[in-house]
Structures are given as C-alpha cells and as structure tokens.
Chain A
Amino acid sequence: MNRVKRTLAPYLLVLPGGLWLLVFFVVPMVTMLSLSLQEGDIVNGYVFTGHWQTYVEAISDYQTQMIRSLVYGAITSLVLIVLAFPVAYWIAFYGGRKKTTYLFLILLPFFVSFVLRTISWRMLLTDDGVLLHPLKEAGLLPSGFQLLGTPTAVIAGLVYNFLPFMVLPIYVALERIDPRVVEAARDLYASPATAFRKVIFPLALPGVFAGVLMTFVPASSDYVNSELLGGTSTTMIGQVIQSKFLHTSDYPTASALAFALMAVLLIGVFSYARALGTEDVMKVAAR
C-alpha cells in the first residue's frame, strides 16, 4: 500500500500543475497550430485544410520584422548584461544587510503597469520633452533631432522594461560565490582584476546565461515598446501578429507567424543552452 502511494505521489503532485498546463497551454497551442493551417475568412469562417503555404507566405512577407525583432532582442540582452552586471555585483558584494532593500528597489518599477511605464518613456523621449528640450536649448542637439520613432528608443524601452530580469539571475549567481574562493585567488597573488576575470566572472556566467534567456525571448516578441516608442520602420514581429489577430482578423497568418517565432526562439535557445552547457543555465533559470 505504502509502496503504491509512493509511486503515485509524484504523479499526484504534478497533477494540478499538469492539468493547468494542459488546459491553458496545450489546448490553446493546438488550437493555434490548427488555425495556422486553416483557410477562409472571418465572415464565412476558417476551415482546416492543412494549407502549410501560409507559413511560407507569412515568413517571406514578414522576415524583415522577424529578423529585426531578433536583432533588437539580442542588442537588448547585450546592453542589459553591461548595465546589470555592475549593479548585481555591487548588491551581492557590497549590499551588506540592505541587500533585500536594494533588490526591492530594482523591482519597484514593476509595481507600475508595463504599459504605463512605457507611456511615461514616451513623454520622456518626446521631441521637446524633459530629456531633449534642454539639450536642444543648449545647442548640443539640432532642433530637428528626435528619439521617438527610432530603433534607439525602442531598444531603450526594452532595456528599461527588462532590467530586473537580468539583474536578478546575475545577482543569484554572484550571491552563491563563496568569498573564500576569491580570498584564495588573492592569496595566490591574483590581482583584483585577475581574480574577477578568472574566478568571479566564470562563476557568474550561469546567471548571465539565465538572464539572457529571460530577456532575449520576451524582448524579441514584445510589441508594446515598438508600438509606443517606435516609428514607421521599427515594427517588430509581435506587432505584426497583434495586428493580424486584432485588426485584419487574418487568424491563419497570425498563428503561423506566432508559431514560426516560437520555433525560431526555441531553436535559438536550445542551441544556446547546448553550446554553453544546459545544466547550469537551466538550474539558475529555475531559481
């Protein structure tokens, strides 16, 4: 009896979450997959015909936006590493007893809605706003200079919105480092720079990898930043999908693009994890 219980226990434990995933993730996914292979129009209805050519058309029509999204996502992740590493490092090694407070401060902007934060960036970056107006007045920038509507604005918005997702994993990885390891490096006559390069940075890498996973994927598929901060040639793939679903009711193209994006991201993430050692990445990502 006990044995049966023990064998069943893991399945029972996984049941609530598993059911949740089945109903709210697997079922919609299958529906979407089906939609992407349907033909028709919104008035007469869409019917499944296995028309996989939608994928070919959708990808060839919107490859620019797809590639642009991946590039924006990659740049965002890179900028985030540069920005987040020092912050995480400082909190982990110099935060002292106030570490939790600092981490809370990092998360504080999250108490304001995503869209609202991005809209406030609109106001910040607008042609004659608080940022550009003084610079233009001082003659540092030409009066026609604009940030809104440029890739810079979109990437800046993405970086801002995803910063905590890079800081936290790096912080977790740095936090785990045994200070004695660093001391040992110093005892062996490593300069602080060498100790950082040879000891701290490699130990923090899993955090960086996890941070990249947690920022690159959502940043590449984001559509709010490019919608609000972008211009006529910064459209990201998320915007295309949203527009196909909500504006033109072209469900098959929208679903095909969503699946294509997912496939590209999955392949990217898996080869990334493979190249850099899955174990650690997933472990830190799971934290």
Chain B
Amino acid sequence: MFPTSKPDPSLLRGMTQRRLGRRDALRLGGLSAMGAFLAACGVQGKGKPGASAAPDAVAKFWNGKVKNGKLDFANWPLYMDPKKPELKKFTEKTGITVKYDEVIQEMGPWFAKVQPQLSAKQSIGYDLMVITNGMQFGQFRDAGFLAPLDHSKLPNYAANAAKSYAQSAYDPGNVFSVPWASGITGIAYDESKTKRPITKLADLWDPAFKGKVGMFSDLQELGNFGLLAAGLDPAKSAEADWKKAAAKLQEQKDAGIVRNYYDQGYVDALGKGEVWITQAWSGDIFQKNVSDGTNFKFVIPEEGGTIWTDNMAIPITAANPVDAITLMDFFYEVENAATLAEYINYVCPVPAAQATMLKHAAAQTGEDKEYLESVANSPLVFPGEADYAKLHYYVGFNTAEEQQDFSKVFDPIVLG
C-alpha cells in the first residue's frame, strides 16, 4: 500500500478522477475561464494506489486471455547474449515468437515515455518489460500500470526461484513482477592507476584521487553511497539523513574529487582512464574485463554496497500477456537461468543454476571451462551469506511526496 500524505481524502479522490479533478482544481484555484482551459490540460491521476492486488484482480485480468503465439519484449542493452539462444529455444518449444528490443536505458526516461499511453489505457507496444526496483517501480506499481501475475502460470518460478525474492520490499509476494537478474552497486577501480587496493567507500573521498573519481548520476545510487559513507542505512533513512548524505557528497564534489556524475558511460570512462575509481554495477565490470581484456577490480565496500533487482513485469495494457508470462516462467527453468547468467554475469535468481553452470563447465575445455567456472564461483553471480550481509536495499519511499523530497535533496549535487 502506498499511503498518501494528502490531508483530505475526498480531495485526493477528486484529484485522481478526471472530472472531479477539474472541478476541484477550479475550487482550489478559484480560477477564471482561462484557468479552466489550462486545467483541462492536466496530467491525469493514475488511479488507485495499491501494492497488493486483490485476488479477484488476478482473475479479472487473466480471464479470457489466450496465447497469441507472439510477444514483444522490452529489455536493457547487454542483458542477453546478442544471438538470443534462450529466445530461439523458447520459440522452438512453445511456438511463440519473440520480438526483443533493447529499448530501456534508464528507468526515469522509460517511465516518462510509456506513462502517457498507460494512463490512457493504451498498449505501449510491449508485453513484457524489465524494470528496476527503484523509484519508478513504485510509480509503475502504484499507478496500476502492472498486471497482477497469475502464479498458477509460473510453476518453474515457484520451484526454482530463490526464496528471498518473495520477501522483497518493493513487491512482496511477487504480485506484479519476478526478478530477471540482480546486481550489486559497489566500487570498480583500476589498480594500475590507484596503486593500492580499494576496500572502502572512504576511498571515493580520498583527495589522492582528485578528479579521478566517478559517481553515478542516478539519484538513488548516488544517495545510497552518500548515506552508506555517512554510516546510515539507506533502507531505514529519512529526510534528515538524506541531508547529511547530501552534505557529504557536496563536500566530495566541492573538493574537486568527483570527475563527473555518470550514467552507463562510467564503464567507458574507466576504460579510457578518465576515472580511476568509480561507483559501478557488478556485471558491467565482469563483462568489460572479459570482452576487452582489462583487469579492473570490483569490490563491495566495507561500509556496504547496495543490491538492486531488475524485474520482469507485464504492462496492464499488454496485448499478449499469456505469451509474456510463459516467457517469464521459461527463464526460471534452471537450464535457461544458467545460460543467461553465464552470459550476463549478474546475480542469478535461480540458486540451482550454479550446479548446472559447473556441469556446463565440466563439459568444456580450456578457456571456456575456466570462464564458466569463474562465473559459477563468482560472488557477484551467486553471492554468499557474507556478501549479502554487506548489501543494503534502496531507500524505500512511503509516499510520492517523500520521493520528490529525496530528489530535491540530491538533485543539486548532480545538476551542479
């Protein structure tokens, strides 16, 4: 549930319904005809909030939905082997053809792009999308943009998924989503430049690396590290803590330590030597080292790193939801989860895939064998208890207003 901080429930209800919204707007503003015209251009409310869909919502959505033999899948770049072996196998097995587009680059812009269609109850052209458990996940969920999942159609998920995912804070019970992969935000560095091993967040504040430190431009990622560096737990933080973290980050910026605030471009900046030490996503560094022969290190800092999850979800307006949920479940077959993780090197939501990966490794020789073994034994793909202990979850927001406040606190740092 997404409690709202608006004082007057009737007003809120008014705001979330189109006609009343206009009337309330007029009442609120006491406005002229021009005002009414302007008000008509309002961005509509996205309907009722609610993290847990009622059981009849599942039935209501899935009733009468049938397999159509095709589906459109929106994912992030570099999140599947470009030859798409898993999708080929899926088509062979089920007869469903998949159009796979790597159209999601950042959560904010993705939400901004599909929000108007979803608000208007129109198809966004995709039946399945992979979205991160950040701010926008909450927005998708609370706006009623995600189809409630029919778990009777997800037998492999029930059998093979790591149990911890069912207790996630962003989607308890996996009502709307199942994980695609998780990743860890930590520190990547080039030891040939730093001349010493990096172990802690404080190293990102070390004046010795002035102008050679990369931070993320994503406000949640940046805020998390500020909080952790200030000794605060992001998941339990409140506005006063955010301000402390922001002050810490501002200090780092003012001292000229930060080279820039990066999106996905940090990998490139690290590769070019623009930054020596940077906030980083686990799988990227692994992939960069494998594909470019670099030897960058990735560490989960002593003070802790964060773990996030990218999730498969079905937009409420999907034209082919049955095909989409079939594909969701397909990725929970141990074999498919294993081959996917072997390529992407992000945390695999299927623990049994580790044994399968080692089996694959045993069937190979030489470099391939070494590679597969390194993936199977990588703490970044199958983190152990000790690793999990160091990982924190994202800041949880109770209200949309809190989310805006969070943005307001950290925005001035990135937008210097």
Contact = CB atoms under 8 A, between A and B. Distances in A.
Interface of A: 30-31, 33-35, 37-38, 40-50, 61-62, 65, 126-129, 144, 146, 148-149, 230-235, 239-240, 243, 245-251
Nearest to B45: A45
Contacts of A240: 415
Given A47-B21, A50-B29, A34 B38 contact: yes
Contact of B273 (A41, A127, A235, A251): A127
A44 B415 contact: no
B24 interface: yes
A246 B21 CA distance: 24
A191 B161 CA distance: 87
B411 interface: yes
Given A65-B415, A231-B260, A50 B15 contact: no
A50 B31 contact: yes
B207 interface: no
Interface stretch (B293-301, B364-372, B401-409): B401-409
B287 interface: no
A50 B35 contact: yes
Contacts of B69: none
B261 interface: yes
Contacts of A251: 43
A43 B400 contact: yes
Nearest to A230: B260
Given A41-B401, A232-B258, A61 B108 contact: no
Please list the 4 inter-chain residue pairs (A to B) with the smallest Cβ-Cβ separation, ordered nearest first: A45-B45, A48-B39, A41-B400, A247-B108
B7 interface: no
A73 to B, nearest CB: 18
A34 B106 CA distance: 27
Contact-size category for B: 35 or more
A240 B415 CA distance: 7
B43 A49 contact: no
Given A245-B112, A246-B108, A37 B414 contact: no
B35 A247 contact: no
17 contacts: A42-B46, A42-B400, A43-B139, A43-B400, A44-B12, A44-B16, A44-B45, A45-B42, A45-B45, A48-B25, A48-B41, A50-B31, A232-B253, A235-B415, A239-B415, A243-B411, A243-B415
B104 to A, nearest CB: 13
Max count, chain A CB within 10 A of own CB: residue among B31, B259, B401, B415: B415
Contact of A44 (B6, B31, B260): B6
Given A247-B108, A248-B108, A126 B29 contact: no
A219 B404 CA distance: 30
A40 B24 CA distance: 13
Contacts of B40: 34
A257 B2 CA distance: 30
Contact of A47 (B42, B115, B400, B416): B42
A34 B108 CA distance: 22
A159 to B, nearest CB: 21
A146 B269 CA distance: 13
Interface in B354-385: none
B329 to A, nearest CB: 30
A181 to B, nearest CB: 51
B271 to A, nearest CB: 10
B100 interface: no
A46 B219 CA distance: 22
B72 interface: no
Max count, chain B CB within 10 A of own CB: residue among A30, A33, A50, A128: A50
Interface string B216-230: 000100000000000
Interface in B23-75: 24-25, 28-29, 31, 35, 37-46, 49
Given A38-B42, A44-B16, A47-B25, A232 B261 contact: yes
Contacts of A33: 38
Contact of B46 (A43, A47, A234, A247): A43
B38 A45 contact: no
A245 B108 CA distance: 9
B115 A42 contact: yes
A129 B143 CA distance: 47
Contacts of A48: 25, 29, 31, 35, 38-39, 41-42
B195 interface: no
Contacts of B172: none
B173 interface: no
Nearest to B109: A246
Contacts of A43: 2, 46, 49, 138-139, 142-143, 400
Contact of B260 (A50, A232, A248): A232
Contacts of A62: 415
Max count, chain A CB within 10 A of own CB: residue among B42, B43, B253, B414: B43
A45 B43 contact: yes
B79 interface: no
Max count, chain B CB within 10 A of own CB: residue among A30, A65, A231, A248: A248
A44 B46 contact: yes
Contacts of B143: 42-43
Given A34-B42, A47-B25, A249-B139, A128 B273 contact: yes
A128 B272 contact: yes
B2 A30 contact: no
